[in-house]
Amino acid sequence: MSNDFGAFVPGPRARRAPTGSGPLDGLTFAVKDLVDVAGVVTTAGNPDWARCQSPALTSAPVVERLLRAGATLVGKTITDELAFSLEGENHWYGTPVNPRAPDRLPGGSSSGSAVAVAAGLADLALGTDTGGSVRVPASFCGVHGWRPTHGRLPLDGIVPFAPSYDTVGLLAREAPVLQRAAQVLLGTAVATPARPRWLLAADAFALAEPAAAAALRAALENWGPVEEVALFDGAPAAFREAYATLQGLEIARSLASFLARGPAFGPTLQPRFDGARSLEPAAGATWWAWRVATTAWLHRLLPPGTVALVPSAPSIAPRRFLRDGAAGAFYDAALTLGSIAGHAGLPVVSVPLATLEGCPLGLSLVAGPGEDERLLALAAGQAVRAPAGR
């Protein structure tokens, strides 16, 4: 096993010294290879994409904010090709090794970022999250992950995927470190943690494998009163179908010029891009109307001070590698779970709450739009505690 767990992009490391001093003095961070670092080619995990790019002239604003706050950049990390996967497998550049379960997948598409943090190679890492690409690897690798409210952090200098769902997020081993760095990115004051009204999404837990759901429920026993609710409004399949359609149409639009060149993708990714390009644009109008109504429903369900509890992934990390029926079952559940926040632009903090068969399990704390600071404070405070023995 490589001493860097395969987390970093092959070749010379993109290292940068801090450009200022502040709350992140002494901390290190890594950057997913969808995010620009000045002087470095952003490969997006695909050689054909890399061949079309020049070195970035400037770093993405989120990178600059961390450098100005005193953090040191230690390298760019592997991503699934153009972020189109939740597994962490990369056909071209290698699949990072999950430090918590070396025979299992690291999760994607922010695979290298989660691995770098879990292995202690960086204190923090930037990732991106469209349909779960921070939350799933955070769960599989046993670290904390934050997907912000859509639009709260700039996406300049980041390869677009499905823009109305795309966010740039953050991973860290410890919740207080995640909070400190997230506050730097947000540029806002730290919130005071206050115990919220907990809503356990029973229909979301039903999508997880029974043993995983049971382990998470058991870990919630000391959280105080927890109400059970239905987040999917009786239609989980609609959440998945809407996401697959709207995301696919956006991928086809945002990457149209690149896809028209006929780039090569790994064998599991090629059918996904072909499928996105084959979607009928007319289908988007129906699902967009559904999304607007569903967003309103979720916002009503999650007023300030309310937090929904959702499995970050449907299971512990699957063994390397996912294929055929096993892959289909995993994606059906994982994308449905991930789409809750995506459709409504909601903030999420995934916390490593439990273990099963020696592997981590994450729980997502989902709140209404703009509640990022409260979620981060909850994760860093006494209301949310890591499981004993971690």
Domains of the chain: 28-380 (3.90.1300.10)
In terms of C-beta distances under 8 Å and separation of at least 24 residues, what long-range contacts does 223-229 make, across chains too? 223/198, 223/383, 223/384, 224/195, 224/198, 225/198, 226/198, 226/199, 226/200, 226/309, 227/197, 227/198, 227/199, 227/200, 228/199, 228/200, 228/202, 229/199, 229/200, 229/201, 229/202, 229/301, 229/308
Amino acid identity at 279: L
Active site (annotated) includes residue 76: no
The pLDDT value given to residue 324: 83
The pLDDT value given to residue 2: 52
Catalytic residue, candidates 85, 109, 111, 312: 109
Q: How far is CA 322 from CA 48, 221, 241, 355, in A?
A: 24, 33, 21, 21
Per-residue pLDDT of the chain (390 residues; tens, 9 = 90+): 458 999 999 999 999 999 999 999 999 999 999 999 999 999 999 999 999 999 999 999 999 999 999 999 999 999 999 999 999 999 999 999 999 999 999 999 999 999 999 999 999 999 999 999 999 999 999 999 999 999 999 999 999 999 999 999 999 999 999 999 999 999 999 998 889 999 999 999 999 999 999 999 999 999 999 999 999 989 999 999 999 999 999 999 999 999 999 999 999 999 999 999 999 999 999 999 999 999 999 999 999 999 999 999 999 999 998 898 899 999 999 999 999 999 999 999 999 999 999 999 999 999 999 999 999 999 998 544 444 333
What number of other Cβ atoms are within 10 A of residue 263's Cβ? Answer: 18
To the question of pTM greater than 0.85 for the whole model, the response is: yes
**Do the Cβ atoms of 60 and 35 come closer than 8 Å?**
yes
Active site (annotated) includes residue 109: yes
Catalytic residue, candidates 110, 113, 133, 315: 133
The pLDDT value given to residue 251: 98
